[in-house]
Amino acid sequence: MANKVSNPYIELFEQLPIPERLEPENIAAMLKERAALGAAPEKLEKIKPAKAEKPAAERNITVSSSKRKTTVAYRSIASIAACAALALGIVGYLNVGNSEIPSEVVPDSGDYASDYGDVHKKFEKFYIDNADRTTLDSAIEDIERSYNDAQNESSVGGQISDDDPIVTADDKNDEVIPPIADDNPPPVSEPDDEPLPPVENTETVDDGIPLPENEAESDNSDIAFGEGFILIRDSNMIRVINNFNGALTYSDNIFPQFEEMTTKTLAGFYADGTKAVAVYSVVYGDSSSNRSAVEVCVYDIFDGKAQQLSVTVQDGSLIDMNFANGALYLVTVYNDYRVAPIIGVEDLESYVPSYTLNGVKCYVQPSDIMIPDYLTTTDYTVISGIRTDGAVSVKAVLGYEGRVLVRNGAVYLFGYDDDAGSAGKTYVRVFSLSGGNVLYAGRADIDGIALGGDGISTFGSAIAVATVKNTEDGYVTVLGVYDGTMNPISMTKIPGALTTAKRSGDCIYFTEAKESCGIDLSDPAKPAIVESAPAKDPAKGLVEFNGGYVTLTKAADGSLQLAKLIKNEAGALELIGKTVISTESGVVSKALENNGLLLISGDIVGLPYGYYDGLDYCYRYALYRETDGSFAEIGSIECHETDPIFENEKAILNNGVLYIFSKGRVYSTVVGSSLSVVSKADIVESSYSGH
């Protein structure tokens, strides 16, 4: 417990020498002097913690987290006064550089530690030396402040006019793109607002078919097919359905194994051949002192029963994960500071991330710990590959800043680099993921400081990085677009420091107090300036189908209708045909809320629907074939229940068998001249008595 520190630690703190500059009276004088200088443009203010996009599970990732105030203090090998000085922050001048963007990732040694002593020295330097530290986000704040001051001073002196146009130039031919009209700025939100929501389509086509307001999503992350079994998520548990050529039996459950004072939450699961992989986010301890980890359990599934093969536990809070070709790749941020101070190099528990393999604890080896010369935090980014056969590969990078992209086959870590004394570079360290191995692939340096918010975004396979840099002609905002190996695809330059980036659809909008700009990256190789909000896509929320689109809607008279639409030459939607599916009173369908639940296979559409007949619920799943806009029913299955948990939701075609899922039951069916049930497995016992 963090509030129960033993007397030897207290005595140790009392014996530690306090540097004269960190005496309480000197700290007070220093802060007073800093406050007096705060109004001067050339002096920088206190740095805010890096604002990272939060992962799916909320995590505390900063040293100064309120829940870890006590723990952080005991971690420092300096005095409590030194910790206070670090918390309040003393920063120096921001010196923006002007390096060139490399043509590709440049392999280098990676600056790995030669031994644990190298890591220990970095912690000593970070916590004892009163070194100036700047994060990516705080550097942008400093640029914005400096730029605004310069704008104000220049406008007074008449050197810069508010009427000067904003222009962009293509790096290759310096072709000037027309300025944005001042009277028609793009819609952008304030810096602290939520990201712009996608433009939603609520219009109707000419004949009155209402279009869905929700974007179609087909999410099968709660279902996984293995060899001879199906995994289905049920809250924090995984249901195992034995599947022998379509013959279904509900056969087992996979639960997290709890220890005392431990909380585990199912973060995801995967099927790989005859094996199942469950991933849990773990918190050890209570609210006053806890530690985070990620637990990976591998099971062998035989005859529908799950037998645990291995358990790997990695330190840190889950950032992202990806499963490919028999290996799970995890990215965590490790910032769990122990209650004990770092006494010496051998005290690995206090400053080195660890992992356990079937109960055996291992510390990340020094040769697998990368140490940048310039650190903004002592948090680690830990990347691991965990194969279902038990092999593990782990790498760690000191200095997590909350900017991580995980793609199929690669992890990208973004940071701020000041190792040469010339601030103003955003580095990208790339790790390749293959065969369960995590390998350092190299580093790319991008000129300028990466913007927060949506300043780092992905557009398909392209990565867009927006930076602000200082040049001889003043500040410039640069939007660089790169491929998966960080080769530049395109670049757009905008005079001025546009320090807020918000994404909406395929566009990124930049704004500053006096200027705004939008860039369309629907074609990453050909970025285009947008002078207003992009036109609404009339097909947004529809499902692509058989040369056009299909949508399930509810008409004004309450009937359920299936409609086929196409885009004409003008880009508007035209109705080809519609078919009434049901006119039953109170007809419902999960696919009305999300058209992505429609099953699409060639010219066939599958959909769930149901209604209440006054005694019980009638739930159906039906298949339709489309011909010239008209839908003819192939066949349907039907059940009567008193519990809405049996309402059908989605269907998945796997190895020629169509599986239909509700929260209470799974059907296996075959499609021929009609739709026929092969087998079913009840997850919840039915209470229907046959009214």
Q: What is the 3-state secondary structure (H, E, C) of 289-301?
A: EEEEEEEEEEEEE
pTM of the model: 0.74
**H-helix or E-strand containing 25?**
helix 24-36
Establish if 416 belongs to a structural domain: no
- Estimate to the nearest angstrom the gap between the alpha carbon of 521 and the chain centroid: 20
3-state secondary structure of 330: strand
Residue 583 pLDDT exceeds 90: yes
Instruction: In whole angstroms, give the CA distance from residue 381 to residue 372.
Output: 12
pLDDT of residue 340: 57
Q: 260 vs 154, which has greater pLDDT?
A: 260
Residue 510 pLDDT exceeds 60: yes
- Residue 151, both tokens: 């704008």
Q: 424 vs 210, which has greater pLDDT?
A: 424
pLDDT of residue 153: 57
End-to-end CA distance of the chain: 60
Q: 645 vs 141, which has greater pLDDT?
A: 645
pLDDT-based confidence at residue 570 (cuts at 50, 70, 90): confident
Distances in whole angstroms, Cα of residue 189 to Cα of each of 195, 452, 476, 509, 527: 8, 14, 21, 9, 21
pLDDT-based confidence at residue 557 (cuts at 50, 70, 90): very high
Residue 104 pLDDT exceeds 60: no
Q: 439 vs 191, which has greater pLDDT?
A: 439
Residue 355 pLDDT exceeds 90: yes
The DSSP bridge pattern shows strands 528-530 and 543-545 to be unpaired
CATH of the domain at 668: 2.130.10.10
CB 261 within 8 Å of CB 267: no
The range of the structural domain enclosing residue 563 comes to 549-682
Residue 363 pLDDT exceeds 50: yes
Instruction: In whole angstroms, give the CA distance from residue 62 to residue 139.
Output: 17
Q: 569 vs 297, which has greater pLDDT?
A: 297
Establish if 560 belongs to a structural domain: yes
Q: 613 vs 380, which has greater pLDDT?
A: 380
Residue 347 pLDDT exceeds 70: yes
Establish if 310 belongs to a structural domain: no
Residue 273 pLDDT exceeds 50: yes
Establish if 388 belongs to a structural domain: no
- Estimate to the nearest angstrom the gap between the alpha carbon of 548 and the chain centroid: 32
Distances in whole angstroms, Cα of residue 202 to Cα of each of 72, 213, 215: 51, 6, 11
pLDDT digits (tens, 9 = 90+) for 213-259: 555 655 567 999 999 999 999 999 999 999 998 999 999 999 998 88
Q: What is the mean pLDDT of residues 57-63?
A: 31
pLDDT of residue 350: 85
pLDDT of residue 40: 35
pLDDT-based confidence at residue 111 (cuts at 50, 70, 90): confident
Q: 420 vs 184, which has greater pLDDT?
A: 420
Residue 668 pLDDT exceeds 90: yes
Residue 100 pLDDT exceeds 50: no
pLDDT of residue 403: 87
Q: What contacts 24+ positions apart, CB below 8 Å, involve 466-469?
A: 466/501, 466/508, 466/510, 467/426, 468/140, 468/143, 468/497, 468/498, 468/499, 469/96, 469/97, 469/98, 469/424
Q: 19 vs 361, which has greater pLDDT?
A: 361
Residue 77 pLDDT exceeds 90: no
**551 class by beta-carbon count within 10 Å (0-12 exposed, 13-18 middle, 19+ buried):** buried
Establish if 228 belongs to a structural domain: no
- Number of compact structural domains in the chain: 1
Instruction: In whole angstroms, give the CA distance from residue 103 to residue 444.
Output: 9
Mean pLDDT computed over every residue of the chain: 75
Residue 198 pLDDT exceeds 50: no
Establish if 221 belongs to a structural domain: no
Establish if 658 belongs to a structural domain: yes
Q: What is the mean pLDDT of residues 557-577?
A: 91
Residue 34 pLDDT exceeds 50: no
Establish if 582 belongs to a structural domain: yes
| Residues 6 or more apart whose Cβ sits within 8 Å of residue 513 | 148
Q: Which of 293, 269, 265 is nearest to 280 (CA)?
A: 265
pLDDT of residue 416: 78
pLDDT-based confidence at residue 605 (cuts at 50, 70, 90): very high
CB 638 within 8 Å of CB 620: yes
Residue 43 pLDDT exceeds 50: no
